[in-house]
Structure 1
Amino acid sequence: MPEHLGAAVDRALARPAPQQPQWPDPEAVRGVRAVLEGVAPVVTAEEVDRLRAHLASVAGGTAFLLQGGDCAETFAETTERSIAGTVDTLHRMASTLTSMAGLPVVRVGRLAGQYAKPRSSPTDALGLPAYRGDIVNGREATAGARAPDPRRMLRAYVNSASAMAVIRALHATGTVVPGGADTGFFTSHEALLLDYERAMLRVVDGHERGEPKPYDLSAHFLWIGERTRRPDGAHLAFAELLANPIGVKIGPTTTPEQAVEYVERLDPYDEPGRLTLISRMGSGEVRRVLPPIVEKVAASGHAVVWQCDPMHGNTVQTRTGYKTRHFDQVLDEVRGFVEVHRALGTHPGGLHVELTGADVTECLGGPQHLSTTDLPHRYTTACDPRLNRTQALELASLTAEILRPR
């Protein structure tokens, strides 16, 4: 990496960085980073640029972004069967949206790298370090499993590269859906674990702005989460340096002024497709909080992608301790999101959901009318509850109805 870019990365990562593990051996971390800096990337810069071009169409109002997959991938479940199930579900959702809403759909999976998770507390109910995703530690409730282990970053890389190979094979052979380079399937994850993300930087000549620029080639699309979007923090400063398309999750405490700051810092040259603002307000807040944010950003003149995450703001916990979401609230947030944009004349450009192709019982309601008594039957998520295949396809159909031109 050129010296000036390396210095810029170091300055960015010297800022406050929430949600990072307390590695017991910093020297081991540096050793793992050195290995990852020399491996083949998971994705290519050309693929990243292709996604940016597709997202420019979304920002311009002529396409729709569908993003979905696991809340937290696990090493054990990175199998061809599980990957194919998720990819197939997203393709079927996209087909429904295209046929009913009349817009081409850009498909982006929460796949091949979604191994790190933010947590609300550094410890769990037993006083053990919180599970922060397979890239950091194990789910088992033991001191040994929960100790942060930097070698897990190597396993995460291997699994991500293997998953990407499966995705490409499924796509190229038409096993899941007739495909090819033009239809495209892209990957994404939260850029949370900074030791891993910095190690996957690659400087590529010939960037569209005419100068070498670092790409984070762990995924095509990266987002900054609700817990790490602080303006003075390392995550935002790191994302400013990247050529990848970037997303920012904005929750109900986001002010219009903060949203404009994200836009001006992450999209300084007003490049359509560069920035996606992912609202996750909750069904009870979206109609109140989102309008002034959209108005303020629209007045700035930047062409951003507006995307709805109807999952995270609608999480509840049952009396028996299960985290869940109700399908009706998820759908209502989508409806509120579209209502806001229709009223303001802006494009409701995307949907971001946690889902699986498996027949899990983690979210309530939907076509199967799942109740709290159903939750224990197939509740297998490593972190947050996901829509199952039937619920996800129903959400796509109902979202298409909402989006259908009147």
Structure 2
Amino acid sequence: MSWTPSSWRAFPIKQQPTYQDKELLEKIESELSTYPPLIFAGEARVLKEKLAAAGRGEAFLLQGGDCAESFADFNAKNIKNLFKLMLQMNMVLMYTTGKPIVKVGRIAGQFAKPRSSDFEEIDGVKLPSYRGDIINGIEFTEEARIPNPKNMLKAYNQSASTMNLVRAFARGGLADLNKVHQWNLDFIKDNPLGKRYDELSTKIDSSMKFMAACGLNSDTMPQLHQTTLYTSHEALLLNYEEALTREDTDTDEWYDCSAHMLWIGDRTRDLSEAHIEYFRGISNPIGCKVGPSMEEDELIELIDALNPNNEEGRLNLIVRMGASKIREYFPKLLKRVRDEGRNVVWSCDPMHGNIEKSSTGFKTRNFDNILSEVEQFFAIHKEMGTIAAGIHMEMTGNDVTECTGSTSSPITDEGLASRYHTQCDPRLNASQALELSFMLSDAITDSE
């Protein structure tokens, strides 16, 4: 079957809203299709090259950000805090491993969320589930939970504003290596982790002074003054993605210009359904979540459907098994892909398989389980002689209390209620994410 940006509409589809006003939906889709792209095809091609390097072990993928972006919490401070956290983690990983870090944010488009149930019930009241701000409202009212096509326009405008600010941070001086101390977020400066980061920053300062004495500084070397943070999100709402799909005039290829990289979730990766059909036709680097229900033959078929030319950097397989299941389910999949010579970029999502309910009723994740899945992921790759190429995390640059444990931020079940702000799933706070990056750098070094 020939592919078009709308050919997915002929296929079964999961995790989609039912819009009441079809005429309004078509009007919004038509309007979006005239809007400027949020990214350029050339940027996506550069990212694909960098992911290819990560797949070969020559770089490392750091992908992270919000579980779900929010219209209500949209402000410059939140964006800046996440950007600074990504810079901190980048510096820890790059300094320790000696590899370039490919930074990809779950940002500027991460508005739609798959749900385990179509409905939510509270105190005997049953309403449609919240599916992310691009679809409906988080407030538990009948009116808020009605899918509203106009939310796609607001999501686009917020994404455009976020992209603008991220580009300004990346190019305007905030990423300058002479400011490495300034990236330390206020609420972690005084804890042991903040002090450890400051010790690393001091070493980098010394290196920068030596380089400056050799005539190499931020004025003469843009690499010391600028960086790039690519954008990504789960391309769940295909009405939105189709409207932002553009044909590149240089290559005649189609790109989803809503983000540099898009991924398919574990719930929507059916080979005979709409999301696979849409993804097979776009030329962006793409990802697909790989959970414990994935079978070996199914995974090979999926790889061949999404990456028929076996292109390096094209397909990122994001493993999300859970700490208690990864050792049982992942090795056989990894071995099959290795033995069949498929080019993929393997990364670890230690978040989605480790959700649990706390004794106080909050959905949470335990830091020890997150760390355990990461360590097992790297150990399995070392045993197989393959490349553990990246990490994929739900995290925030803010001081939230959503995941329990860790040395730097020892949150208990009782402490979750203090600053539990997520729109959907629990995120690592900045302290926990930075702590994980130090431990991750050790795991990368040990696996080589």
- How would you bin the TM-score normalised by the shorter chain? over 0.9
- Between the two proteins, what is the percent identity of the paired residues? 43
Matches within 5 A, 1:213-362: 213-362=253-402
CA contact (8 A) 1:279 1:308 kept: yes
Deviation for aligned residue 1:26: 1.1
Deviation for aligned residue 1:185: 1.1
CA contact (8 A) 1:88 1:177 kept: no
CA contact (8 A) 2:170 2:227 kept: no
CA contact (8 A) 2:5 2:245 kept: no
Deviation for aligned residue 1:225: 0.2
Matched, 1:368 2:364: no
Aligned counterparts of 2:311 and 2:245: Cα–Cα separation in 1: 21
For 1:191, the aligned partner's letter is: A
Deviation for aligned residue 1:182: 7.3
Residue 434 of structure 2 is aligned with which of 374, 383, 393?
393
More deviation in 73-82 or 354-363? Answer: 73-82
Aligned to 1:138: 137
More deviation in 246-255 or 75-84? Answer: 75-84
* TM-score normalised per structure 2: 0.87
| Runs of 5+ unmatched residues, structure 1 | none
Residue deviations 1:115-170 (CA, integer Å, cap 9, x gap): 00011111111311111000001111111111100000000000000000000001
CA contact (8 A) 1:267 1:275 kept: yes
CA contact (8 A) 2:37 2:258 kept: yes
Aligned counterparts of 2:296 and 2:272: Cα–Cα separation in 1: 17
Residue 202 of structure 1 is aligned with which of 246, 256, 279?
246
Aligned to 1:9: 5
Deviation for aligned residue 1:91: 1.4
For 2:372, the aligned partner's letter is: D
Deviation for aligned residue 1:44: 1.0
Aligned to 2:75: 79
Matched, 1:404 2:445: yes
For 2:235, the aligned partner's letter is: A
Aligned counterparts of 1:348 and 1:304: Cα–Cα separation in 2: 11
Aligned counterparts of 2:367 and 2:402: Cα–Cα separation in 1: 11
Deviation for aligned residue 1:80: 1.1
Aligned to 1:59: 55
For 2:51, the aligned partner's letter is: L
Aligned to 2:213: none
For 1:157, the aligned partner's letter is: Y
For 1:103, the aligned partner's letter is: K
Aligned counterparts of 1:359 and 1:8: Cα–Cα separation in 2: 44
Aligned counterparts of 1:288 and 1:355: Cα–Cα separation in 2: 27
Aligned to 1:121: 117
Aligned counterparts of 2:57 and 2:439: Cα–Cα separation in 1: 20
More deviation in 92-101 or 375-384? Answer: 92-101
Deviation for aligned residue 1:102: 2.4
* TM-score normalised per structure 1: 0.95
Residue 108 of structure 1 is aligned with which of 99, 104, 107?
104
Aligned counterparts of 2:133 and 2:227: Cα–Cα separation in 1: 31
For 1:120, the aligned partner's letter is: S
Aligned counterparts of 1:374 and 1:258: Cα–Cα separation in 2: 42
CA contact (8 A) 2:171 2:227 kept: no
Residue deviations 1:329-355 (CA, integer Å, cap 9, x gap): 000000010011000000000000000
Aligned counterparts of 2:155 and 2:377: Cα–Cα separation in 1: 34
CA contact (8 A) 1:60 1:303 kept: no
For 2:233, the aligned partner's letter is: H
Aligned to 2:155: 156
How much is the aligned-residue C-alpha RMSD, in angstroms?
Answer: 1.5
Deviation for aligned residue 1:8: 3.0
Aligned counterparts of 1:159 and 1:183: Cα–Cα separation in 2: 22
CA contact (8 A) 2:247 2:255 kept: yes
Deviation for aligned residue 1:321: 2.0
Aligned counterparts of 1:91 and 1:303: Cα–Cα separation in 2: 29
For 2:433, the aligned partner's letter is: A
For 2:412, the aligned partner's letter is: S
Deviation for aligned residue 1:176: 4.4
For 2:146, the aligned partner's letter is: A
| Runs of 5+ unmatched residues, structure 2 | 178-221
Deviation for aligned residue 1:10: 3.2
Matched, 1:23 2:19: yes
Deviation for aligned residue 1:60: 1.3
Aligned counterparts of 1:221 and 1:150: Cα–Cα separation in 2: 23
Aligned to 1:189: 233
Aligned counterparts of 1:312 and 1:358: Cα–Cα separation in 2: 20
Q: Secondary structure at the match of 2:353?
A: helix
Deviation for aligned residue 1:183: 3.6
| Number of residues of Structure 1 aligned to a counterpart in Structure 2 | 398
CA contact (8 A) 2:6 2:242 kept: no
For 1:201, the aligned partner's letter is: T
Greater Rg by CA = 2
Aligned counterparts of 2:176 and 2:283: Cα–Cα separation in 1: 29
Q: Secondary structure at the match of 1:144?
A: coil
